[in-house]
Amino acid sequence: MPELPEVETTRRGVQPHVVGREIVRLTVRESRLRWPIPAELPALLQGQRVDAVERRAKYLLFLTPGGTLLIHLGMSGSLRLVPSGQSPAKHDHFDIELKGGQVLRYNDPRRFGCCLWLAPDEQHPLLRHLGPEPLSDAFDGELLYRRSRGRKGPVKPFLMDQKVVVGVGNIYANEALFLAGIRPDRAAGRVSLARYESLAGRVKQVLTSAISQGGTTLRDFVGGDGKPGYFAQQLHVYGREGQPCKRCGLPLRELRISQRSTIYCVACQR
C-alpha cells in the first residue's frame, strides 16, 4: 500500500507537469472505485486550470478555481504522465488530459482508491477528522503524550491512528518505534513524555529519509511504469523477521498487533 512518502513523491513528481495547465477533459473508463467517480465530474473538470497540487495525509488535492479534485491511491493505485494518444493498459481507470498533449493516467488493479470533487470551501468528510501532519510543527512528543493518557492499547496502533497523526503507516511505525527503543506492544498510556519526544523525532526522521530517497525516482513520472514511489530503503526491522538486529545481533521477532505484522527487537526495545 502506498504510504505517505510514496504519496508525497507522487505529488512532487506530477506537480511541475500539471500546475498552470488547463484540463481538456476527464475520460473515465471505470467509475467503480472505492466510491464511484461522480457522473458530473468530467463536466466539472473540463476547462479548469490546476493552480496547485497539495497533499493531506495520503490524499492528493488538485486545486482549481472551481473546486478541488481529491485523489487517493488506495492499496495499489498510481498516477503517471503519458503522451496523449498512448493506449490505456489494463486497470487504467481514468485519464486527465492536459492542454499541451500530456495525460495524467490513474492505474489501480484493486480499485480501492478514489477520485472525488470538493466544491470551493467544502470540507470533505474524509478529511474532517484527520490529525496533524507528521512533518509539521503541530506534531511533537507533547501531542503524543497528551493524547495517549489513559490508553491501554498498544503504542503501535496508537501511532497509526489517523486521528492522532496522519500518514504513519505500518512500515514507518515499525521503524520509528525501533529507533526510539519502544516496544510496539507497550501500552500507549505508559510511555513517558521523554520517550514520546524521541518517538516524534524518529517519525520525522524516517519519513523525511523515505521521501528523500523517493525523490531520486521523479524521472519515472514521465513515460514511466507508474511505480515511482516504491523505492529501496535501508530498513532496520520491517520485513526482517528472524534476521539479526542491526544494533545487537539478536534475531528479530514478529508480533501480530491489530492484525498487522510487527517486527521488533527484544533487547533494543522496551
Which tens digit of pLDDT belongs to each residue from 115-151? 999 999 898 999 999 999 999 999 999 999 999 999 9
Domain boundaries, the chain: 4-128, 141-264
Measured between alpha carbons, how far is 162 from 203 in angstroms, rounded to an integer? 14
Closest CA to 81 of 222, 214, 218: 222
The identity of residue 158, as a single letter, is: F
Write the CA distances from 232 to 210, 221, 228, 235, integer angstroms: 9, 17, 11, 9
- How far apart CA 174 and CA 191 sit, in angstroms, is 16
Q: Strands 260-264, 92-98: parallel, antiparallel or unpaired by DSSP?
A: unpaired
Write down the residue that cell numbers 498533449 correspond to.
101
User: Within 13 Å and on the Cβ side, how many CA atoms surround 89?
Assistant: 11
Residue 58 among the catalytic residues: yes
Active site annotation includes 3: yes
Three-class DSSP category at 216: helix
Residue 268 has pLDDT above 90, yes or no: yes
Q: Please state the φ and ψ torsions of residue 255, each to the nearest 5 degrees.
A: -120, 155
d(CA 227, CA 224): 8
Class of the CATH domain delimited by 4-128: alpha beta
* Active-site residue, from 58, 147, 183, 202: 58
pLDDT at position 229 is 41
Which residues are known binding-site members for DNA?
A: 91, 110, 151
The C-alpha cell at 55 is 497533499
Rounded CA-CA distance 167/140 in Å is 14
Of the candidates 2, 157, 184, 228, the residue annotated as catalytic is 2
* Average pLDDT score over the chain: 91
Q: What is the pLDDT of residues 51-104, one digit of tens each?
A: 999 999 999 999 999 999 999 999 888 898 999 989 999 999 999 999 998 999
Grid cell 495499489 is found at 76
Using a 10 angstrom Cβ sphere, with 0-12 exposed, 13-18 middle and 19 or more buried, the burial of residue 158 is buried
Three-state secondary-structure class, residue 201: helix
- pTM given for the model: 0.88
What is the Cα gyration radius of the chain?
20
One-letter amino acid at 160 equals: M
Which of 3, 6, 8, 97 is catalytic? The answer is 3
Are 2 and 31 within 8 A, CB to CB?
A: no
Cα separation of the two ends of the chain: 28
- The residue with greater pLDDT, 20 or 221, is 20
Q: Which residues does the annotation place in the binding site?
A: 91, 110, 151
HSE on the CB side for 169, CA within 13 Å?
16
Spatial distance between the Cα atoms of 41 and 117, rounded to a whole number of angstroms: 7
Tracing cell 526482517 back to the chain, one arrives at 240
Query: Looking at residue 1, what is its pLDDT?
Result: 67
| Candidates 34, 56, 253, 260; catalytic one | 260
pLDDT at 233: 60
Mean pLDDT of 214-227: 43
pLDDT digits (tens, 9 = 90+) for 245-266: 999 999 999 999 999 999 999 9
141-264 carries CATH number 3.40.47.10: no
